[in-house]
């Protein structure tokens, strides 16, 4: 849960009223006060608040919050580099290896041997920890992710940690052949031991698979699109 009580502390140090913060994110002061009491809001709103108060989003999830970790004054806020305890830690700078999945035997071997099938690296600021990146093929998630886009992912080693409703890179064994796709994972009506893979593209119908058929799994964290050459 986010620590939204520190919004008041930060706004005072930045000499911005709670009403002003609420106006800038498009809600009433009362709604913001209620949000602060509950300690929860959607990601979009939290990102807006973070931009207004000039702090990383992860700042609101820091269990060890204190002013010694952040130099705070009325003019600027600069994060001091010190390990923190986020639910999803944001890294200020990160180099992500871009892999060639077409050259790899399968997704599982790509996860195991990270010294092969490397196309290059991607350097991105202020993002969650990612284990790798690859080009997308297929249109199952079109238009939010198109063929030719790059996805950055976090490997999932324990399939019991699946967050249902989120988007995953999934490798499934089908009679000895690997079926590799990007889908939403939801609960299957077939019950325990099954998952349902759902596309964003309505032309693709949902499919149910047994969990034992999953050979590799990764949570899709980021997508990158090149609009011009």
Check whether domain 90-224 has CATH 1.25.40.10, yes or no:
no
- pLDDT tens string 204-225: 999 999 999 999 999 999 999 8
- What's the pTM value of the predicted model, to 2 decimals? 0.61
Count CB atoms within 10 A of the CB of residue 141: 24
For CATH 2.10.109.10, the residue range(s) in the chain are 90-224
DSSP code, position 201: S
Name the region of 51 (left: φ>0; alpha: ψ -120 to 50; beta: rest): alpha
- pLDDT tens string 118-151: 999 999 888 889 999 999 999 999 888 999 999 9
In which band, very low, low, confident or very high, does the pLDDT at 30 lie, cut at 50, 70 and 90?
A: confident
For CATH 1.10.260.40, the residue range(s) in the chain are 6-79
- pLDDT tens string 180-210: 999 999 999 898 899 999 998 888 999 999 9
Check whether domain 6-79 has CATH 3.40.50.720, yes or no:
no
CB 94 within 8 A of CB 129: yes
Instruction: Compute the mean pLDDT over every residue in the chain, rounded to the nearest whole number.
Output: 81
């Amino acid at each position: 849960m986010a620590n939204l009580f520190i919004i008041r502390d930060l706004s005072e140090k930045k000499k911005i009223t709670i009403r002003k913060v609420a106006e800038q994110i498009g809600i009433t002061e009362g709604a913001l006060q209620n949000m602060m009491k509950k300690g929860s809001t959607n990601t979009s709103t939290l990102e807006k608040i973070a931009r207004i108060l000039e702090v990383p989003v992860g700042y609101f999830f820091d269990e060890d919050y204190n002013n010694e970790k952040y130099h705070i004054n009325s003019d600027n806020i600069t994060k001091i580099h010190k390990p923190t305890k986020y639910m999803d830690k944001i890294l200020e700078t990160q180099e992500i290896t871009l892999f060639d999945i077409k050259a790899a035997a399968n997704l599982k071997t790509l996860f195991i041997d990270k010294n092969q099938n490397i196309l290059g690296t991607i350097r991105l600021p202020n993002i969650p920890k990612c284990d790798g990146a690859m080009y997308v093929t297929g249109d199952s998630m079109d238009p939010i992710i198109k063929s030719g886009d790059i996805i950055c992912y976090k490997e999932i080693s324990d399939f019991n940690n699946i967050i249902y409703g989120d988007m995953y890179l999934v490798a499934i064994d089908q009679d000895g052949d690997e079926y590799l796709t990007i889908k939403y994972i939801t609960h299957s009506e077939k019950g325990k031991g099954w998952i349902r893979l759902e596309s964003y593209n309505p032309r693709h119908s949902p499919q149910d698979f047994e969990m034992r058929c999953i050979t590799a799994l990764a949570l899709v964290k980021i997508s990158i699109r090149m609009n011009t050459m």
